[in-house]
Chains A and B, each alone.
Chain A
Amino acid sequence: MTLVRTLLLRLMTTAVTLFGVAVIVFFVIRVVPGNPVAMMLPPGATAEDVARLTALYGLDKSIPQQFVIWGAGVLHGDFGTSITLRQPVLALVLGRLPATLELSVLALVMAVLMGGAAALTGTRLRETRVEGGIDVANGMALSVPDFLWGLVLILVFGVLLPVFQISGRVTPSLHLPFVTNFYLVESLVRLRFDLTRDLLAHMFLPAFALAIPLAAIIGQLLKQSLKETMHLDYVTLARTQGYSEARVIWREALPNAILPTLTLVGVQFTFLIGGTVIIERLFSYEGLGNMAIDAVINRDLPLIQGIVILFAVIFTGVNLVVDLTYAALNPRLRHG
């Protein structure tokens, strides 16, 4: 019962947030200096052309009326036409979304593996030099942002030891049999592991750069929770029963220490997705973020609107999933 109520409440706040984003996006774009119609028409257009296009886009109506028209269009999937690419915004944006999602999820998996390994090793070898080393590495990873880690990775693994690719999503000369834009997933489904290999060689460094700060956060928090758990009585009991230290950490301490980390990972995942904007640019990876920067440089306002709204949907969606998972996992919230 309470779970259903939590669900409804969260859905409502999500809807309100998205509405707020839509209002802000709409009005911010409307205050841009410069006439949007003038930007769409070629130079030398007549006054009649301007009037016709103004009427066509409803720009002769009042602002609230314009918002209703625009909002109705958005709800029907009509985000307008990109000025520079001359294609429907929705198709462009959805075409790029899979690339960004695959990169973000790969980065998340790497961050969880690296951070988890650091925390477990640090707990197993606590109060040794290894733990000190892990702490120093965590501190370094946290004080430098993903953009700089990306550049360092390009230098080390792209130039000094050229084992990975440093630009693009896939080798352009390859023939791709894919029907969706989820290249990585589809290459696995079609058992084309040669393509998977090529895709991963391109995605590894950008995903690694995105993963480093998150891995450090996971490592720190999980290690702290594990160390606290290790002092509890039931852990001592397990140890006196003769289980090995590794087994005690893995089977007894970890399941109880992991909940705070899980919540944090959810929140931090939205930051990681935000980081794709600049990391995709750095690695010339053809995703949503790279497209966003081009759109800002070209001041392609309809495209910017579409991308910002899609990002907002992703962020609120991730937050929603995190909150609901937390509610489902946490018995205190479940029985309210």
Chain B
Amino acid sequence: MADGRALICRRAGLRLWLSLGWLALLVVVAVLAPWVAPKNPLEQDLFSGRLPPFWVHGADPAFLLGTDSLGRDVLSRIIFGTRIALAVALISGTLTCVIGASLGLLAGFYRGWVDIVISRFIDIWMAFPPVLFSILLIAVIGPGLFSIILAIVVIDWTRFARVVRAEAMAQGAMDYVASARVAGRGRFSTMLREILPNVLPIIVVLLTLEMGIAVIVEAILSFVNLSISTDDPTWGGMISEGRTSIHQAWWVLVFPLITLFLTVLSFSQLGEGLKDRFDPVLR
């Protein structure tokens, strides 16, 4: 039995490191994009349209992963697309986290009317299906990167608020909180100095999962052409182009799809892995 547990731990650790490794690679590539990318992602070359990747007969080795119908380098577009994907993940993830976690913390620790107001708000918010919410929002504020970030924050803050509220409530009932108060610490200060550090692990887990959601939402909205302009390299935009030319040039779809798949998988595996790591029962 002890052996089995060690095996599970080792496997979970591997999962954690693999996802972390992939995400670290993405960050490096995003930061260094202009130096890493072999070509200009916007440069069109109609004479070398739909070139296959390097190992297929008829390829031009200058375009490692081939070109799309306008002759743009697939690899360079994936590399520059990393910037948009990670920017959306970081900005919308952080904003959602700050807003949702703050409200959840206030509701869970202060209880009383603060909790009643915030909890009702969460309930009403969650009764509205997210798909309809995003359709309405984007229809009203128009497509674009800003709309995507706004839509994610407006829809997903409840995810943080609900969990953090429950966690803060559980922590608030514990003895160490009471003793901090007896020792003369103010309420707000207790919340920040005693409760927050203890709910931080769950917030980190939620933030990781939220970033994965943000990446997929951005990809979906670029896929249906409701994100930034189609010239700019986004994974979703590339997938959309690849979907239409799937029988002529499979590589335009396959490579951005693999990148997106691994990224979404990494965020969720990292989140799940951290959850297990932080869970005192499993540890």
Contacts and interface: CB of A to CB of B under 8 A. Distances in A.
Interface residues of B, number: 36
Interface string B197-239: 0000000000000000000100110011110000000000001
Interface stretch (A139-147, A216-224, A257-265): A139-147
A295 B139 contact: yes
A216 to B, nearest CB: 12
Interface in B248-283: 250, 253-254, 257, 260-261, 264-265, 268-269, 272
B257 A24 contact: no
A204 interface: no
Interface string A292-321: 110111010100100110011001000000
A148 B135 contact: no
B224 A293 contact: yes
Interface in B75-102: none
A274 B265 contact: no
B129 A296 contact: no
Contact of A145 (B130, B131, B243, B264): B264
B226 A311 contact: no
B192 interface: no
Nearest to B250: A159
Contacts of B265: 140, 143-144
Nearest to A151: B257
A329 interface: no
A236 interface: no
B131 A277 contact: yes
B145 interface: no
A308 B136 contact: yes
Interface in A113-166: 139-140, 142-145, 147-148, 151-152, 154-155, 158-159, 166
A17 interface: yes
B2 interface: no
A304 B139 contact: yes
B138 interface: yes
| Interface core residue of B130, B223, B272 (most chain A CB under 10 Å) | B223
A33 to B, nearest CB: 8
A143 B243 contact: no
A32 interface: yes
B257 A148 contact: yes
Contacts of B130: 274
B182 interface: no
Given A311-B129, A311-B132, A301 B139 contact: yes
A296 B135 contact: yes
Nearest to B264: A144
B257 A152 contact: yes
Contact of A315 (B129, B254, B257): B129
Given A144-B264, A155-B257, A281 B224 contact: yes
B205 to A, nearest CB: 14
A196 B169 CA distance: 55
Contacts of A166: 246
B5 interface: no
Given A304-B139, A311-B129, A297 B216 contact: no
B183 interface: no
Contacts of A308: 132, 135-136
Nearest to A13: B127
Nearest to A158: B246
Nearest to A270: B129
Interface string A71-100: 000000000000000000000000000000
Nearest to A290: B224
Contacts of B254: 155
B216 A155 contact: no
A297 B129 contact: no
B232 to A, nearest CB: 17
A80 to B, nearest CB: 15
B250 A296 contact: no
Contacts of A20: 124, 127
A154 B139 contact: no
A21 interface: yes
B131 A159 contact: no
B131 to A, nearest CB: 4
A1 interface: no
A282 B243 contact: yes
A31 interface: yes
Given A143-B272, A144-B265, A158-B246, A312 B129 contact: yes
B239 A151 contact: yes
A143 B212 CA distance: 9
B173 interface: no
A304 B136 CA distance: 8
B128 interface: yes
Given A24-B128, A278-B224, A293-B226, 9 more contacts: A25-B136, A32-B140, A143-B265, A292-B135, A295-B139, A296-B226, A297-B224, A299-B142, A315-B132
7 contacts: A20-B124, A32-B139, A140-B265, A151-B239, A152-B257, A159-B247, A277-B135
